[in-house]
Chains A and B, each alone.
Chain A
Amino acid sequence: MTNTASASFPQIVPMGLAGLLVRFSARLDERANRAALAFRAAVEAVRPEGVEETASSLGSVFLRFDPGVTDHRKLSERVADLLGARDWFAAPLPAGRRLWTVPAVFDGPDLAAAASLVGLSPSDAAEELAAARVRVLAIGFAPGLPYMGTLPAHWDIPRQTALTPVAPAGAIVVAVRQIIIFPTATPTGWRQVGRTGFRAFRPGAADPFPLAAGDEIRFRPVTGRDLDALTSADPAGGGAVAEALP
Chain B
Amino acid sequence: MSALRVLSAGPGVTVQDLGRPGRLACGLSRGGATDALALAEGAALLGQATDCAALEMAGFGGEFEATHDVTVALTGAPMRAVIEDRRIPWNATHLLRAGQRLEIGGAEAGVYGYLHVAGGFATEEIMDSRSAHVTAGIGAPVMAGQTLPAGPAGTARAGLRLDVADRFAGGTVRIVASAQTALFSEAERARFVATEFVRDPRANRQGVRLAHEGAPFRAEEQLSILSEIIVPGDVQMTGEGTPYVLLSECQTMGGYPRIGTVVPDDLPLVAQAGPGARLRFRFVSLDDAVADYRRARAGEATRLSAAVRPLIRDPAAMADLLSYQLVGGVTAGDDLAREEG
A146 CA to B286 CA, complexed, in Å: 33
Contacts of A203 in B (CB 8 A): 126-127, 136-138
A138 CA to B181 CA, complexed, in Å: 23
**Is residue B234 contacting chain A, with contact meaning CB distance below 8 A?**
yes
Chain A 27-52 interface mask (CB, 8 Å, partner B; 1/0): 11000000000001000000000001
Contacts of B331 in A (CB 8 A): none
Which of B47-55, B60-68, B247-255, B318-326 is found at the contact surface with chain A? B247-255
Partner of B229, one of A14, A18, A140: A140
Contacts of B286 in A (CB 8 A): 14, 17, 71-72
Contact check, A17 vs B263: say whether CB atoms are below 8 A apart: yes
Contact check, B25 vs A184: say whether CB atoms are below 8 A apart: no
Contacts of B253 in A (CB 8 A): 57, 138, 140-141
- Known contacts A15-B178, A145-B27, A71 near B227 by CB under 8 Å: no
Q: Which of A205-236 contact B (CB under 8 A)?
A: 208-209, 212-213
Partner of B27, one of A5, A15, A142: A142
Nearest Cβ on chain B to A178's Cβ, whole angstroms: 10
**Is residue B176 contacting chain A, with contact meaning CB distance below 8 A?**
yes
**Is residue B240 contacting chain A, with contact meaning CB distance below 8 A?**
no
Contact check, B22 vs A141: say whether CB atoms are below 8 A apart: no
Contact check, A17 vs B261: say whether CB atoms are below 8 A apart: yes
Contacts of A142 in B (CB 8 A): 27, 135-136, 251-252
Closest to A56 in B: B25
**Is residue B59 contacting chain A, with contact meaning CB distance below 8 A?**
no
**Is residue A19 contacting chain B, with contact meaning CB distance below 8 A?**
yes
Nearest Cβ on chain B to A195's Cβ, whole angstroms: 18
Interface size on A, residues (CB 8 A): 51
Chain B 132-174 interface mask (CB, 8 Å, partner A; 1/0): 0001111000000000000000000000000000000000000
A58 CA to B21 CA, complexed, in Å: 21
Partner of B252, one of A3, A19, A27, A141: A141
Tell me the interface secondary structure of chain B in the complex. mixed
Closest to B262 in A: A16
A143 CA to B181 CA, complexed, in Å: 26
**Is residue B193 contacting chain A, with contact meaning CB distance below 8 A?**
no
**Is residue B226 contacting chain A, with contact meaning CB distance below 8 A?**
yes
**Is residue B338 contacting chain A, with contact meaning CB distance below 8 A?**
no
Chain B 259-282 interface mask (CB, 8 Å, partner A; 1/0): 001011000000000000000000
A19 CA to B137 CA, complexed, in Å: 27
- Known contacts A16-B231, A140-B227, A201-B136, A53 near B24 by CB under 8 Å: yes
Chain A 184-211 interface mask (CB, 8 Å, partner B; 1/0): 1000000000000000010110001100
Nearest Cβ on chain B to A35's Cβ, whole angstroms: 13
Which of B7-15, B89-97, B288-296, B305-313 is found at the contact surface with chain A? B288-296
Nearest Cβ on chain A to B142's Cβ, whole angstroms: 18
Partner of A4, one of B127, B177, B178, B182: B182
- Known contacts A57-B227, A72-B286, A139 near B25 by CB under 8 Å: yes
Contact check, B25 vs A55: say whether CB atoms are below 8 A apart: yes
By CB atoms of chain A within 10 A, which of B22, B226, B286 has the most? B226
Q: Which of A91-140 contact B (CB under 8 A)?
A: 138-140
Contacts of B82 in A (CB 8 A): none
A178 CA to B226 CA, complexed, in Å: 13
Contact check, A16 vs B251: say whether CB atoms are below 8 A apart: no
Closest to B175 in A: A16
Nearest Cβ on chain A to B277's Cβ, whole angstroms: 23
Partner-A contacts on B (CB < 8 A): 21-28, 126-127, 135-138, 176-183, 220-221, 224-229, 231, 233-234, 251-254, 261, 263-264, 286, 289-290, 293-294, 297
Partner-B contacts on A (CB < 8 A): 1-5, 13-19, 21, 23, 25-28, 40, 52-60, 62, 64, 67-68, 71-72, 138-145, 147, 184, 201, 203-204, 208-209, 212-213
Known contacts A64-B24, A144-B28; 7 further A-B pairs (Cβ under 8 A) = A52-B22, A53-B25, A55-B229, A184-B137, A208-B127, A209-B23, A209-B26
Q: Which 8 A-B pairs have the closest CB atoms?
A: A140-B253, A16-B261, A62-B229, A55-B25, A55-B24, A1-B182, A209-B26, A143-B28
